[in-house]
Amino acid sequence: MCGRFNATFDNGVKKLYTSLKINKIINNPIDSRFVKAADTVSVVRNIGAQRRVENATWWLLLDETIHGFKPSRYTSFNTRFDKLNVPRSAGYQAFRSSRCLLAVKGFGETEFVNKKPVHYYDMVAESGGLLLGGLCREWHHKTTGEIKLSCSVITLPPHEKLKHIHSKAMPLILPQEPSVIDRWLNPEVHEIDQFEPLLQPHIPQNIIAQCIDKPSSYNPKGNSQIITQD
């Protein structure tokens, strides 16, 4: 998954938020057609028994500055599935105790050849929205006392149906089943082996794929296609 997604807060995404049974919500989740890495995003997580929506920096590793925090020089807006069980990796502890999800309309993919982009795609839910599986971390500033939340999206190997769009990876798209979501967001669930099936390439719902001219203008190129659910 490339470093952008569609966080449009339309009726479909609103219904998705409603289905999550959130107890506390920020004034409104981030509502933006174009969110890029290191921007502020909205995440859903559990604090004890309370499920809430909070704003986070889409970059898991932060560095402390004199007055606050900034994204680390180490790229961390995504966390690869094969790093989740590597001790001392950025997402190792978060995978065990602070999983989150991002409710979005869709995400963007860019295919590179020899480090040059060959095409850009917008991927959006055919109906409603998508739940991306993620990780979050809290950072406490030693001087100011500020508490800052950061997050990343877990990425998986490429799905066969998506390799012509992005040949290296895809985001973890969680099935919208209450039992799965409850286990994923429960910080008391430490038996991570149960999440192994989720870390296999899977498309749980239909997605519309549209080639575009560039992410900043997203003018369509050619006809869209439906990527059917597995």
Tens digit of each residue's pLDDT (9 = 90 or more) over 103-133 = 999 999 999 999 899 999 999 999 999 999 9
pLDDT of residue 2: 79
Task: Label the pairing between strands 106-113 and 4-7.
Answer: antiparallel
CATH code for the domain of 50: 3.90.1680.10
Determine, yes or no, domain membership for 61: yes
Cα within 13 Å of Cα(148), Cβ side: 22
Which pTM was predicted?
0.96
Determine, yes or no, domain membership for 173: yes
pLDDT, tens only, 65-104: 999 999 999 999 999 999 999 999 999 999 999 999 999 9
pLDDT of residue 205: 98
pLDDT of residue 61: 98
Determine, yes or no, domain membership for 121: no
Task: Say whether pLDDT at 1 is over 80.
Answer: no
In sequence order, what DSSP letters do the residues of 93-151 get, joined into one string?
Answer: HHHHH-EEEEEESEEEEEEEETTEEEEEEEEEESSS-EEEEEEEEEEE-TTT--EEEEE
In terms of residue numbers, what domain contains 84?
4-107+130-203
Determine, yes or no, domain membership for 97: yes
Indicate the number of domains in the chain.
1
